[in-house]
Amino acid sequence: ASAYDFHGSHQAGITTPVQDHLHFASFDMMAGADRDDLITLLQDWSYAAARITQGLDVSATGAVGGSPQAPPDDTGEALGLAASGLTITFGFGPALFEKDGVDRFGIAARRPAELERLPAFLGDDLDPGASDGDLCIQACADDPQVAVHAVRNLTRIAFGRARLRWSQLGFGRTSRTTQVQQTPRNLFGFKDGTANILADDTEALDEHVWVGAQDEPAWMAGGSYLVARKIAMLIETWDRVQLAEQETIVGRTKGTGAPLSGGDEFTEPDFSGDAMPETSHVRLAHPDFNGGNRILRRGYNYVDGNNTLGRLDAGLFFLSFQRSPSQFVQLQRALSTDVMNEYLRHVGSGLWAVPPGVTAGSYIGEGLF
Ligand code: HEM
């Protein structure tokens, strides 16, 4: 099992080979928390994240090395488990910079101009209990217990300064970020992640994913913007749709994932004839029809039990990283005529600024203060 360094020029968990499991968490700062509380929280989180990503306990005394008369520093459920490819990726939401006109932490002047709540999109049906948040943590690992241990302990460390607002478990990655990873499938049964931006495509990453050195604000250079959308999928309805119709909606075959214009999975779609339906998801989202716009997708399937009608409460926890939030906004608007929308319901949403990576001894977001 692999261990990824928490330190680096970019945060881990973006181009890192997509792991199998996700625990995503959104936090709000507590009423009355001040600038020092925020800074010490980010320092404590960085310290713990650097350790747990190496398969260590959150502190040196950890789960069983401390006083028998005190609650242990670490909750212990990851004892004996490997690092399991754990990555922890932190993000700062718009409200962290300014909430109801109040600059709680003295950072309003440093808010990236583009870091605003995403606009409302056609068909949005958002639950505030699955949207937004001052801070976010994306924990990905190949063992679900390791991802949950991370969020549980980071939540515990935040005690008195920030509290969990909502969180989401995900399984079965719906993308790939390296050439060697097989393309997985989403809950519609289609390969997902075929045309993603991959880790070795530094040119595309610099153009579409990383905030550049010339971009504003300077403290975000090497960072990115994270969009989360909880998209419920009406899978029972989808499952009654004819195979040919499903493929028309996506624009690719269900078996191999090849574009309907022919070839294999990695053949570029040919939009010159009429093989690629006008309203197919792939055509609407393709860079050729979006001014060259691309994003790095890193979402997960979810199943949150079922409803009283016996239908699975399931869908895609869509996660994407982009150099500017406007890239997501443009694509999401382009998808307003997507026939797939008949089978989707966007129920959660959030946007966070993902600061650049940190060097050992420093802490996440240090450049902001
Ligand atoms: C491609 C499914 C939502 C953007 C694809 C593909 C599938 C798929 C099967 C083709 C394989 C691939 O290249 O990955 C879904 C499902 C969604 C969803 C089931 C919702 C539950 C979204 C959203 C966006 C998006 C919200 C962005 C706003 C893209 C892009 C591509 C793509 C950019 C690649 C297009 C290309 O360059 O060929 N999606 N998608 N998708 N999707 Fe989605």
Candidate from 196, 239, 281, 298 with most ligand 1 atoms within 8 A of CB, to mutate: 281
Contact between 229 and 120 under an 8 Å Cβ cutoff? The reply is no
Q: What is the DSSP letter of 248?
A: H
Chain centroid to CA 237 = 27
Distance 283 CA to ligand 1 centre (A): 10
**Of all protein residues, whose CA lies closest to atom 4 belonging to ligand 1?**
285
pLDDT band, very low/low/confident/very high, at 237 (cuts 50, 70, 90): very high
Residue 64 burial (CB count, 10 A): 12
Contact between 365 and 111 under an 8 Å Cβ cutoff? The reply is no
Candidate from 185, 234, 296, 297 with most ligand 1 atoms within 8 A of CB, to mutate: 297
Q: What is the pTM of this model?
A: 0.98
ipTM entry: 0.98
Contact between 340 and 250 under an 8 Å Cβ cutoff? The reply is yes
The residues spanned by each domain of the chain are 21-361
Query: What is the per-residue pLDDT for 106?
Result: 98
Q: What is the mean pLDDT of residues 295-313?
A: 96
Enumerate residues lining ligand 1, CB below 6 A. 186, 188, 190-195, 229, 231, 233, 250, 252, 281-282, 285-287, 295, 316, 318, 328, 331-332, 335, 344
DSSP one-letter string for 295-329: -EE--EEEEEEE-TTS-EEEEEEEEEEESSHHHHH
From the alpha carbon of 328, which atom of ligand 1 is closest?
Answer: 28
The mean pLDDT of the chain is 97
Query: What is the per-residue pLDDT for 263?
Result: 97
Write the pLDDT tens digit of every residue in 15-74.
999 999 999 999 999 999 999 999 999 999 999 999 999 999 999 999 999 999 999 999
Write the pLDDT tens digit of every residue in 240-265.
999 999 999 999 999 999 999 999 99
Report d(CA 179, CA 171) in Å as an integer.
21
Structure tokens at 285: 């989202």
Q: What is the mean pLDDT of residues 86-103?
A: 97
Distance 299 CA to ligand 1 centre (A): 10
Radius of gyration of the chain (CA): 21
